[in-house]
Every structure is written in structure tokens, then in C-alpha cells.
Chain A
Amino acid sequence: MTDARDPQDPTTAHPRPDFPQQGQEHPGWTGPMDPPPDHGENSYRGSGLLNDRKTVVTGGDSGIGRAVALAYAREGADVLFTYLPEEAEEARRTTALVEDAGRTAIAMPCDLREESACREVVDRAAGEFGRIDVLVNNAAYQMSQPDGIGAITTEQFDRVVHTNLYAMFWLCKMSVPHLPAGGSIINTTSVQAYKPSPHLLDYAMTKGAIVTFTQGLAQMLVGDGIRVNAVAPGPVWTPLIPATLPDTVEFGKQAPLGRPAQPAEMAPAYVFLASAHANFITAEVMNATGGTPLP
């Protein structure tokens, strides 16, 4: 963290577009990205907000998930995170960041579209940690569909729904028995939940469902002392972007702040919601959109 005495202009605190045009194969990798994403490696400073918490973060190998894993570890938490098998190199980097903070990292390669994989994740976390204090459903799939609804295949639709919704449902369902009072679930939704882009029709639909699921599950678990909230990021510079969107040059330029967020700017919302600082906050969606007005 920079010293609070140094004024931080939010418009220039991180790179502003235009960026180089860059495309990648899905799922995308951090290394080739220009500018390189900032996960808070040189800035995030913990203050014991999550001391000895046991946390699970899906999609923790890169992007927002890596930034959350790093922040949680620096706040004193152990982190189990999932990643796709082809992202093993990314996962090693996240593991190193968590271990550098003096905390335990458990990296699990898996495809969360399978119910059995979600079961293995929860069993492993419960087995090694003894409990799950915080579950962060962050892994997501999107792929730009520029040719209209007629071109969206059933396979594409199914992949989006399984990754973004079924996995969240299964992980919540399986984790609840291991979540103590004071624990919390944090789901990642998106500005797309409120302002769907036509080319992300299926993805945006799942993000809307995540908001509703979050609010409903929060009601269901409030009596157990478990809080359920969501974070709605605007445009964030992660490997998902060059891997799934055709244009990277002006990414984030349309936000009133004039640039995309870096993953490091999203992680504090996940820390805040997981911590006792948010004791009275449940069923809430924290938007961080760079000024794009949302409901």
C-alpha cells in the first residue's frame, strides 16, 4: 500500500488505455499480458483482518482470484484455491504469493463443471482445514458471441451455466455444513448483471442469477450467522480479457474513471466482506465499476 500521505489519483493509479491489441487462447495466461496485471504484489498490506481464517477461492490462479488469495494470505488466512489443469504454471505463482505471506496454500486442479470435482474441493478443504470460514466463488467462463443469439451453441451456453452457476450452487451447498457462525460466502457477479452486453448474453444472464442467488441464500443462512454477499466488478484487466474478447485496445476506456481496474483493486472488497468489518452486511452487492452507474 502506498502511504496515505501520497495522494493517489484514481484515474492514473494504474495503466490507462489504449493498450496493445493482444489475443490469447482460452483460458489465457498472465505472462504475455501488456500491461502486466497488478495483483497487489508490491502494494497490499495486511493488518490481521482474517487471522487464521480458512478460505476457499475458486479460480485463484490468476486475475481477481489471485489478488484475493494474496490479500487473504497477507491478512492471515490459509487459502485453498482451484484452477484448470492447463493453468498449473499460473497456480504455482499464486501458491508462492500465499506462502511468501507465511500462510498455507493448497492448489487444486479441477474442472468445477463436475459435481464430483466440487465435492473433492470441499472435502479437501474440510479435511485439511477442519472448517471453511470463507468461500469465494470466483471462477467464471465467458466467450464473446458477436454473431447473435443464433450463433450461441448449446455447448457454449451449457459451459457458461455450468461453470458460473452449477459450480457455485454445488460449492455453497457442500460448504455450508463446514461454515461456522461468523463465516461468509462471497460470490463474484459483474456489471454485466445490470448492464448486459449483447455479445456476452449468456454470461450476463448467469451474473444476474448470481445476484439473486446471493440475496436468497443470504436470507436462508442469516439465522445461522453466515453472511452471503457478492462483488460486482466493472472491467478488470485479467487473462480472461485477451482470451475471450476481440478488442483489448480500448478495454475499460468507457468507464468514467477512464481505465480498467487491476485485480488488486478488487481484492479489498473481498477482504472487507469476509472480515468482521462487514458484520451487519449480508445480501449486499458491492459494486466497483469505475463510475458506471448501477442500480
Chain B
Amino acid sequence: MSANGAPNTASESAAQVDDELFPPYRFQRMERPGLEADMEIKPRYQARNYRPAGKLTGKAALITGGDSGIGRAVALLYAREGADVAIVYLPAEQRDAEQVRDEVTALGRRCLLLPGDLCDPEFCAETVRATVAELGDLNILVSNAAYLNSQTELSQLTAEAFDLVFKTNVYAYFHLVMAALPHLKKGDTIIATVSEEALKGSDLMMDYAASKAAVVVFTKSIAPHLVQRGIRANVVAPGPTWTPLNLAGQRFTDDYLTELGTQTPMGRVAQPEEIAPAFVYLASDADSSYTVGETIAATGGYTDSR
């Protein structure tokens, strides 16, 4: 087993069990937006058993929500595959972002920090302009930042929260795509992060699930147009993953948080490092040149997602 607990081989992963990876998880609840630095059980994002192969050499990637969680794991894998990255995050998440910058820089790649609020269309455009200006190009857009909202009862749905969810999860994606299009060239890619809830619906995350479903269908709908320009757009749908998102400002019960992921056939949450390789796959010409408008679901075995 490597230092961060990632298995080096398949047999090792079966032989060595690490308590932190399986429920019940240690209870913790945080204020929004929730910092990875403050999580008591650290998400595993360094993917030490991952084998980079120069799949993204010389590319420039813009990753929203790249400071923590899945976005952080993607930023680091992209850097290891040879890409420079720009990460977008909320100003309150500066500590997490600096951690990513330090680790990307240590890999010999550049990391541009872009704090701001993606609910502002002008800021969405600014992140694209800044990426092109500072990194010299934009080849991979990863629309990953999300606002998670949860309800235990229908009466908890509010117009204000619904609006914020759709502004963050859907409108920001739209504005980022539109701003990126003039810069994207043949061979470039767009990848959006959704969630199992987008495919299944969720009585616990009604507005969030609907917003993520919109991202899936929007991607499938624009993909045939984009591919005419040689640009591939696809989606990754993770199952429950150990990130700050679930712990920060949700109405989830204490039991729900300690039992996160038990509903999946694998019976546990994913670690960010287990989700990130799908983002490399979809960004890499060598891997996915015929994959367009597709959703890769990494859900630990759910079957009601298609």
C-alpha cells in the first residue's frame, strides 16, 4: 500500500482494508462551502497508483471547483498527464486552492488560481479569458463546480435556493461553454460533472437532481453540433464521493452522513482519486476519440441510472 492508502495492485486492494474507506464514516458537519482542509477524514485524491502516460501533454485545462473534492483530483491527474491547469473556486476556498496550486507546481506544471462566483456570467467569461491569457490556450473545459442543496420535505423547496442551484450548476455551465467556444479547436474537449441523481432523480436533492439532469441533456444536445467542429463533449456521473460537498450545510441526517454510500452495491463512497481517471479518459484523444455526448457513470454499481 502506498503512503496515501491507494492500492498498488488489484490484489492488494482486496487484501488490505482501510477503515476510513468504509462506512460507518466519522461524523462531521461543516458550514458552506466546506473546506477540504477542515475535513477530519481526508479525501484521497493523489492517486499514487495511477500511471500517467503523457496523455495531455501541452494542453491547458480550465477546471471549475478545482480546489477540492473531485475537481482537485482531476486537476492533479491532468497535471501529471502533462497539462497546465486553471482552477475556479469561491474566495472562501482560498486555502484549498493554494494546496492544489502547491501540488500542481511541484509537478512542474502551471496552476492559475481564479477565485470568484460562477453565478455571474461575466465572471464565467473572465475565467476563460484569464486562462487563455495566462496559460496561452484552452483545450479542456471541465465544468465541475456545483451547489448542492437538500430537502427532507417538499415544503423546504424555495424559489431562492432553486434559482441558486440552477444558476451555479446549469447557467454557469452554459456561460462557460459559450465563452470557451471561440477558443476551442479541433481535438479539444468539454467535460461536465453531474451525479447519479441526474440519472435517477432524488427525493432528498430535488432541485440539485433536476439541475444535473439538465446538464446531461444539454451536453447530449450540443455534442452533435460541437463534434462538427471537432470538439467532443461528454459527462461524468459519479456516485457518492468523499468530498466537502456532502458535509457542508446540508439537511442530511447524521445517520445519512455516517452511512454515505451504503446504498451503492459496492457499499461505500468513492474517493475522488477513483473518479478522476474518467476525466482523463474523456479528455484524451488516444482514449476516447469516438466518444461523444456520452455519460460515464462511476457509481459503484447502480443499475437504475440508465
A: residues with CB less than 8 A from B are: 1-5, 7-13, 43-45, 47-49, 133, 180-183, 215-216, 218-219, 222, 225, 233-234, 256-258, 261, 265-266, 268-269, 272, 276-295
Contacts and interface: CB of A to CB of B under 8 A. Distances in A.
Contacts, number: 182
Contacts of B117: none
Given A256-B227, A282-B265, A7 B294 contact: no
Report whether over half of chain B's contact residues are helix, strand or loop; otherwise say mixed. Answer: loop
B244 interface: no
A8 B270 CA distance: 32
Contact of B289 (A8, A181, A284): A8
Contact of A276 (B7, B57, B187, B265): B7
B227 A291 contact: yes
A47 B290 contact: no
B294 A294 contact: yes
Given A49-B51, A286-B296, A1 B286 contact: yes
A5 B57 contact: yes
Interface in B267-306: 270, 274-275, 277-278, 280-281, 284-294, 296-303, 306
Contact of A256 (B7, B224, B281, B301): B224
B266 A9 contact: no
A133 B287 CA distance: 22
B298 A10 contact: no
Contacts of A287: 291, 294
Contacts of B188: 7
A234 to B, nearest CB: 7
A291 B57 contact: no
Given A277-B50, A280-B300, A291-B223, A182 B287 contact: no
12 contacts: A4-B57, A7-B185, A7-B188, A9-B186, A180-B11, A181-B13, A219-B301, A225-B14, A276-B13, A280-B298, A284-B299, A291-B223
B277 A268 contact: no
Nearest to B269: A280
Nearest to B286: A1
Contacts of B230: 7, 9-12
A266 B81 CA distance: 21
Given A47-B51, A182-B11, A290-B292, A282 B266 contact: yes
A181 B50 contact: no
Contact of B265 (A133, A181, A257, A283): A283
B43 interface: no
Contacts of B69: none
A283 B270 CA distance: 15
Contacts of A257: 227, 290, 292
Given A43-B286, A286-B294, 14 more contacts: A2-B285, A10-B186, A12-B230, A182-B11, A222-B265, A257-B290, A269-B288, A276-B13, A277-B50, A277-B281, A281-B297, A288-B290, A289-B294, A291-B224
B227 A295 contact: no
B59 interface: yes
B85 interface: no
Interface in B1-40: 7, 9-11, 13-14
A279 B13 contact: yes
Nearest to A6: B187
Contacts of A279: 13, 274
A175 to B, nearest CB: 16
Given A272-B287, A279-B274, A4 B54 contact: yes
B274 A291 contact: no
A10 B232 contact: yes
A158 to B, nearest CB: 29
Contact of A219 (B186, B265, B292): B265
B51 A219 contact: no
B170 interface: no
B290 A289 contact: yes
A268 B277 CA distance: 13
A45 B53 contact: yes
Contacts of B185: 7
The 4 A-B residue pairs with the shortest CB-CB distance in the complex, in nearest-first order: A182-B10, A181-B14, A7-B187, A9-B186
B186 A7 contact: yes
A78 B52 CA distance: 22
A256 B228 contact: yes
B206 interface: no
A67 B154 CA distance: 51
A269 B275 CA distance: 15
Given A4-B82, A280-B239, A282-B265, A256 B292 contact: yes
A215 B10 CA distance: 21
Contact of B306 (A8, A12, A183, A285): A285
Contact of A10 (B187, B270, B299): B187
B297 A180 contact: no
Contacts of B210: none
Contact of A281 (B187, B284, B287, B298): B298
Contacts of A284: 296-299
A100 to B, nearest CB: 19
B186 A282 contact: no
A292 B291 CA distance: 10
A183 B299 CA distance: 18
A246 B248 CA distance: 59
A218 B266 CA distance: 10
B55 interface: yes
B136 interface: no
Interface string B41-52: 000000001111
